[in-house]
């Protein structure tokens, strides 16, 4: 689906990613209402739900998300469709790589946050009961100072500075300052996870959009491929049960090479009309022969042979095709093995025409046959591969179902780590409470780590996207260099030829 959204960053803006949204924390005062639960909107989503969410937001912004972006496929050539598919596949591959790298980073951050919380809990247990009052006072003073410094307009204080201040205030309790530092680091890591989950969500939606557009293009490409491997053979059956199919020996091998040599391949009945050089409304044996037309004879006994018009009907035969008696309706009498119903996919009778052979009027046929049926019923000298063996949807070009499965895996990851982030947040808050921190202090620490976490997430996201851009630029530079070298070589060769000519 083409959406009019041209970059991952625009998708992030559409979803509010990197705009100050944070994950939920504990706290019930009025200040906590400013903290937006970033992960709550992403619980247990599947691909369909993400698509619906995207389309709702796109509609709100006036973007036509329901379009495949290829509404005018009839105006595209096969080469243009192939180029569009290649372009989207490359973009989809880039998105896949970015999603995988984000997921790896989220996994690493999750492990690190978990480890920091566990280490902090171990260090807390080493504190003696006699030190609790002193520790409580030092924690209150320094954490409140850390929170105040990191508010908007404040001087700012890093996690490392907080740790040093606590060590100075509690020289006999270094483990406590280390525990606070580890918990604050875990807090930052969880916020970074939430921010990266937002990036991942945006990429999933964009990938879903590309998958939809690719699916439409591939369906069109497949339909065209199948249509290209169908043709409308024209021929007739005589009173003795012999069947004659008109064809043109395009490669000069005196045989019927494949379906592309049948008269009417690509042009249908118009190719028969074009043989009427004297505009008599009929095509006679002479006009057939002069037009290079031969017949593929299937005898009543089953033998098959390519023959010239003269070989098949005699030198002075009275043979003519009555163009005025062509019946486009799907009715009439054809050979016994022909389907007369429109529901048949193979050997479907499209219409009939009159054939005059030595005073006898016979019923000619025009059929629509797919390559499988033709390969089974004609002994082609150079047959086209059958549809089943070529496997049009999975011959290396694209299989939309594979993309869908890959994308569902990313959706599952998103759901899993949205839940893990909440579990880590709960463990973190419990650890803070064991140190005696209030809800307000927990909220303040969280707020203090948000901006740095989001900046780290943004830097990481930009780093993986810039790597892709750099690779593309290097590839373009390489191809341009090859092109220039070829042009220089051709110029040198031309100069040599000119010198030799002199």
Mean pLDDT by 10 residues, the chain (502 residues): 36 37 33 37 51 56 42 72 90 92 94 90 62 72 83 77 79 75 90 92 87 85 68 86 93 91 84 92 93 94 93 90 74 47 56 89 84 84 64 37 67 88 91 83 85 87 75 54 63 69 59
The tokens for 279 are 């505009």
Q: What are the CA-CA distances from residue 281 to residues 236, 244, 274, 284, 323 (Å)?
A: 18, 21, 11, 10, 5
CA–CA separation, 192 vs 311, rounded Å?
Answer: 83
| In 229-304, alpha helices (H) | 269-273, 285-290
Residue of 235, 237, 229 whose CA lies nearest to 366: 235
DSSP 8-state code for residue 448: H
List the chain domain ranges.
8-226+402-489, 230-383
SS (H, E, C) 320-367: EEEEEEEECCCCCCCCCCCECCCCCCCCEEEEEEEEEECCEEEEEEEE
What pairs with residue 307 in β-bridges? 295
What integer pLDDT is reported at residue 152 of this predicted model? 75
pLDDT for position 308: 95
CA distance 236 to 338: 12
pTM above 0.85, yes or no: no
Please give the pLDDT value at position 437: 82
Q: Output the pLDDT for position 254.
A: 92
For residue 21, the model assigns a pLDDT of 34
């Amino acid at each position: 689906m083409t959406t009019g959204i041209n970059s991952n960053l625009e998708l992030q803006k559409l979803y509010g990613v990197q705009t100050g949204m944070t994950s939920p924390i504990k706290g019930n005062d009025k200040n906590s209402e400013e903290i937006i639960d970033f992960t709550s909107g992403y619980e247990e989503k599947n691909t369909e739900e993400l698509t619906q969410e995207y389309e709702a937001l796109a509609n709100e912004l006036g973007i036509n998300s329901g379009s495949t972006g290829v509404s005018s496929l009839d105006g595209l050539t096969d080469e243009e469709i192939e180029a569009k598919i290649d372009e989207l596949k490359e973009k989809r591959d880039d998105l896949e790589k970015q999603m995988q790298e984000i997921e790896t980073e989220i996994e690493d951050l999750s492990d690190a946050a978990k480890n920091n919380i566990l280490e902090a809990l171990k260090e807390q247990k080493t504190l003696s009961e006699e030190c609790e009052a002193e520790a409580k006072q030092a924690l209150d003073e320094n954490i409140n100072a850390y929170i105040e410094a990191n508010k908007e307009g404040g001087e700012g204080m890093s996690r490392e500075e907080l740790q040093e201040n606590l060590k100075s205030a509690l020289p006999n309790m270094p483990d406590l300052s280390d525990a606070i530092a580890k918990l604050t680091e875990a807090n930052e890591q969880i916020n970074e996870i939430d921010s990266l989950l937002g990036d991942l969500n945006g990429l999933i939606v964009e990938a879903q959009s590309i998958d939809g557009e690719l699916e439409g293009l591939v369906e069109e490409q497949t339909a065209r491929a199948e249509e290209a491997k169908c043709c409308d053979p024209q021929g007739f059956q005589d009173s003795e049960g012999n069947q004659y199919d008109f064809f043109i020996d395009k490669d000069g091998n005196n045989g019927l090479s494949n379906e592309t040599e049948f008269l009417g391949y690509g042009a249908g009945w118009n190719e028969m009309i074009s043989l009427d050089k004297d505009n008599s409304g009929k095509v006679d044996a002479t006009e057939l022969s002069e037009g290079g037309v031969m017949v593929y004879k299937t005898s009543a006994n089953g033998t098959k042979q390519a023959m010239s018009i003269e070989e098949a009907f005699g030198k002075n035969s009275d043979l003519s095709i009555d163009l005025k008696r062509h019946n486009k309706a799907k009715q009439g009498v054809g050979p016994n093995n022909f389907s007369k119903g429109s529901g048949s996919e193979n050997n479907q009778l499209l219409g009939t025409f009159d054939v005059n052979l030595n005073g006898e009027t016979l019923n000619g046929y025009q059929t629509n046959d797919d390559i499988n049926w033709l390969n089974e019923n004609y002994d082609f000298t150079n047959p086209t591969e059958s549809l089943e063996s070529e496997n049009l949807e999975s011959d290396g070009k694209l299989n939309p179902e594979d993309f869908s499965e890959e994308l569902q895996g990313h959706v599952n990851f998103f759901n899993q780590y949205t839940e893990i982030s909440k579990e880590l947040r709960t463990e973190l808050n419990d650890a803070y409470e064991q140190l005696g921190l209030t809800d307000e202090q927990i909220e303040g620490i969280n707020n203090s780590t948000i901006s740095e976490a989001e900046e780290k997430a943004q830097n990481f996201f930009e780093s993986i996207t810039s790597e892709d851009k750099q690779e593309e630029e290097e590839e373009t530079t390489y191809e341009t260099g090859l092109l220039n070298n070829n042009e220089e070589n051709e110029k040198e060769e031309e100069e040599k030829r000119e010198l030799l000519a002199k």
